[in-house]
Chain A
Amino acid sequence: MRRFLLALPSVLLACTGTIQDGGVEQSGGMAGDGISGNPARGGAGSTGGSSRPGGGTAPGTSTPGATEPTGGVIAGPARPASMAPVSGLRRLTVREYDNVLKDLLLDPTNPSTGFLPDDQRHPFDNDYKAQDPSQALVQGLSLAAREAVNRLMADIPRRDMVVGCKPAGVTDAACFKSFITKFGRMALRHTLTPEQVTKFTTFSALGTEGADFYLGVRLALRAFLQHGSLVYRAERGTPVGNDPTLFKLQGIEMASRLSFFLWGAGPDNALLTSAEGGELDTAAGVRAAAGRMMKDTRAKDLVTRFHAQWLGYETLVSAGDLLIAQEAETSALMERVLFAERRPWRELFTFGETFVNDVLAKHYSLPLPGNTKGAWVVPTDVRRRGLLGQASFFAIGGSAFGDTSPTQRGKAVRNKLLCQVVPPPPPGVKNDALQNADPKACKDLRYAAHRAGGCAACHGLMDPIGFGLENFNAFGQPRATEKGNPMCKISGDGELLGVGTFNGPAELGKLMSDAGLLEPCLVQQLYRFAVGRTDLDTNDMTLVGSITDGLKDTKATLKIDDLMVDLVSSEPFRHRREEVLQ
């Protein structure tokens, strides 16, 4: 029960001063090796290393890793197919649609961005429950498709690669059919039915009428790019036993589930071939395919985006060169820790080096690396370590009313990193005490009211965390005194109630990491991202709890790719449960 609750979206209902049953699991024996690193591999502690943030490999290629992801990290009792999550019709996100067009049309220009309505964030962009089809969507798709096809047709070499054959003449039916068959399979993510081939081949007649083979191609492409099977991920599956709501995903459905979860893009030819050959009908086959896919650059992009959406730094409150530098810093950390060196996931929060260019180093008051592209450095400020020491993190929910708010920062840590919900003040609570406090008083004194009476229980869970991060402003810059109050020196002492004390983001990261507090939230959010649903039902929560339980002995060494491979190859994820119409 204790571990089960760990995985649930903990709601600190009563704010009794301690986190409710199971909210914190003490596991000091599983301390990560944090900032020790391996200098021989350019690891933490090394001041040298690459001058580029990532592996620099082209999209769609694999990055050599020391070992390959094979999963096998989730132990515990079997999770049967009957625990399959509910799945519904999922529209591709704007990013996914652009990725698909990049693969299909060899067009890296994000053709739909700007034309399609923005996806809502919940916090992820793929919550199908929030996807209401609209005129903005359908008209946007129509225009995006037309523009992308027009550009393709103007680029003869690219056009020829996409079409795949050179017509002998305007009426070359064989070439047209070959194009329809091959392109259609990749676009619709399954081999076209004979009826579909016939239907799409009719476009060639318009090409013939217009005396232009490529007119037919153009029209067929536009129809493919607006096709329901491309725009949506429809899963049906085959019925299982006597349960009318339980279905086993077919191979091609599994291929799409794999590719969009692991790549944020459609299946490649190899994956579709595996699916059509029956290889994705077994857990072993799915595991093998997922292992291969996690080595692809697209998986890195996906994992980076997943974290950005989860933690809320996807769009940062800055602009220009600084914004670019901040994004590069965080992406570099992800790429190096999770992929290039395949370190335990929790090292994201303790890693010793960070990737900065001159702009960001100046922003952080660090020695300039003398490099506009950036370099790995060990920050001279020992409080700045891992993701929590980056401007990306400090930009999330940490400020209010013109300065950092210890309450908001503590709330953000609880909510985003620990998946805990601190309830709002109960009815009738007046917050006047804080606002009416002397604005020239030091912050600790101004927040004193939070430590008294009925406020103390909830604020004790938040404010001490925020005070431990006060030595950094809302943009991640160090400071010794409070904003507007130079006489008020900041101690930076903080506490994670019931776990321990800390000073600064490095110690907070290590504290949470060593205590094993972060992985349950990772599992929960990864699950949401995978199923494309924010709201989790009872079955979801049971499954998430079971997975979290299964990580008991592997948390400290857990690698993100292994977790993702295990997740997609599990029985529940190879099945679906039919959504009940409300």
Chain B
Amino acid sequence: MVAMDAILEMRGITKEFPGVKALDNVNLVVKRGEIRALCGENGAGKSTLMKVLSGVYPHGSYDGEILYKGKPMAFRKITDSEEQGIVIIHQELALVPHMSIAENIFLGNEIAKNGVIDRHETNRRTAELLAKVGLRESPETKVGELGMGKQQLIEIAKALSKKVELLILDEPTSSLNEHDSAALLRLLDSFREQGMTAIMISHKLNEISEVCDSLTVLRDGATVSHHQGMVPESQIIKDMVGRSMDDRYPPREPKIGEVIMQVRDWTVAEEGGDGRLLVDNAKFDLKRGEVLGIAGLMGAGRTELAMSMFGRSVGVFRKGSVKINGKDADLSTVSKAIKAGLAYVTEDRKSLGLVLEDSIRRNIPLANLAGVARYGVIDHHKEGKVAQDYRKAINIRAPSIDQATMNLSGGNQQKVVLAKWLFSEPEILILDEPTRGIDVGAKYEIYTIIRDLAAAGKSIIVISSEMPELLGITDRIIVMNEGRLVGEMPTSEATQERIMSVIIKSGHDLTEEDITPEEIEAETAHV
């Protein structure tokens, strides 16, 4: 039975990846003409669900059924769903910067006769579409010359060109400023009045309450709750994070020593573009033997903070200083940062951490080749011994150290990257999403390694989007949002709700009134 006014009904959707159940019996009913919000933590399964709906994951690769306008659908590719009027706009825009607005809008769907593109008709239709989304630009303007807000509008115009009836937006305002966000939300509002249905994935609860009619919360790949109309934010937050904390973390007795690192005024701007600040006046201390967590949503600037400190590997350095053991540290190149005692274990082990076709043995010494060489000549036997030792010490499960790292599981790859950085003998380890995409058992092993390192007097910074993980293994948590440190708390006083509300409040404060950074600091100081 389909509800009378439902345009979309997804029933019992289950999607598995090797080793992970990304979606577990998810149900979603969307009414015609409403804007439905989809909320959840990173990795809750929101994007996966939308990929199932739009045919990115073809019919047959998941269980469950999709009813659209009352009829069962079996999309095999994106164009199948687009033919039915379901269009998805991804978080990362899919526009070709060197092409004009008109060329982008009709890319893959060109207005042509016998393969010859009709430029005038294309431009005419583009102008119409641009008028609908309220963008005053020539159809021949190159997309790369426009800001993010305008590009987002072009994506929407592109969706309109496909006769969209159900528009899916994946965090549409995440890279927009306040003004553009507000304009976009107004546009969605006007589309609703014309009868369009939309699903909006968002973290920003204020935006949700502004435009959405109803709300679905996903957690760990399952639907937790559906709400109609206004819902208290506290309820939404609780639904988003409400996991039980069991003994998924090794017990630990922190032995925290003196301050080892002091970061002051750390400011980094985006490369190119309009120089948006990725990290804005970051200031924090790290103590010996301490595990410091950095919480925040995706794009909050946590990775940028870490990588900019590690040899200015991201963005453009504006200002700031780092003292290690009371002395100014030169972190201007990666090798200097390593010498200063830093190590950064990347969140993206495949593209930034490993030489995938190389063996475990060859990957481990890469950040400290001098450690296995004399006068620039590598001692293969020492290298083999180092690899064997780490394989045993942190339990890298592989048939041999000559195994190519591309053939290892995610957890074992992560351990190889970890071994590489342990071998560089750092004082301060920055672990960026150290347990992303690895199974529960391997997670526990990684937590144990972190605990043992801290016990051995190393200082550790853990960046994680999994709040239970931060609560389970850290001593202190700082919270980042939009490039700024917006809160700090001892882990003993932290809860997921509290972290989430710090993030959300920090977003609110900026939208509602212009608060100076000093005021935020003053506010967060008493939090």
A, B assembled together: no
